Amino acid sequence: SIPVINVSSDNVSPRSTVTVTTSAPHGLVTSDVVNISYTSNYLTNGSFNVSSIPTTTTFTFTAKVR
Strands 4-7 and 52-55: unpaired
**pLDDT for residue 10 is more than 80:** no
Q: What is the pLDDT of residue 40?
A: 85
Note the pTM of the prediction, 2 decimals. Answer: 0.91
**pLDDT for residue 45 is more than 80:** yes
52 confidence band (pLDDT: 50, 70, 90): very high
**pLDDT for residue 1 is more than 80:** no
CB neighbours (10 Å) of residue 32? 14
- Bridge partners (DSSP) listed for residue 61: 18
9 confidence band (pLDDT: 50, 70, 90): confident
Cβ atoms 43, 4 nearer than 8 A: no
Q: Report the distance separating Cα 29 and Cα 50, nearest Å.
A: 7
Q: Report the distance separating Cα 30 and Cα 11, nearest Å.
A: 24
